[in-house]
Amino acid sequence: MSDHATQRRIIDATPQQCFDVVTDFERYPDWVPDVKSATILEQDKQGRGGDVTFRAASIGRSTTYTLRYYYGSNPLRIAWRQIEGDITRKIEGEYEFVPVEEGTKTEVAYHLAVDLAILIPGFVKRRAESRIVRAALEDLSSRVESVFAS
């Protein structure tokens, strides 16, 4: 059974600026502390990352997983699904970028569902899940605001 989490945050940047940071996969190690490397394996027709392999620290150990990214027709949303992983059976998620304050700020919704292949106590999973989702939005906010500071 997968654990799901969703959080929202207002970021002082446009939706396009948020999207640009999120889709710059190879720079994730610069701003996502647990990500040690990110390699784009395949790109879509627009040159965006399609399949991306990550090496990350997780639950006190190193993990490697490959995500397939989906962009669809809504440019303010990006979703992903795991196609390969060593300690996870499933990783699915989505960022949604909604303009607020006349488009000068963005409400970012982050959805994540994870199913681990290893057994760990429920309270440890819930603590890790909360930290991952909170950190994802905090780290994104810091990165976007530092890259696009006016």
**Where in the sequence is the domain holding 73, given as residue range(s)?**
3-147
* CATH code of the domain in which 111 resides: 3.30.530.20
Question: What is the domain count for the chain?
Answer: 1
Q: pLDDT value at position 119?
A: 67
Predicted confidence (pLDDT) per residue in 96-125, tens digit: 999 998 888 999 999 998 877 766 656 555
Three-state SS sequence of the chain: CCEEEEEEEEECCCHHHHHHHHCCHHHHHHHCCCEEEEEEEEECCCCCEEEEEEEEEECCEEEEEEEEEECCCCCCEEEEEEEEECCEEEEEEEEEEEEECCCCEEEEEEEEEEEECCCCCHHHHHHHHHHHHHHHHHHHHHHHHHHCCC
- What mean pLDDT value characterizes the chain? 87
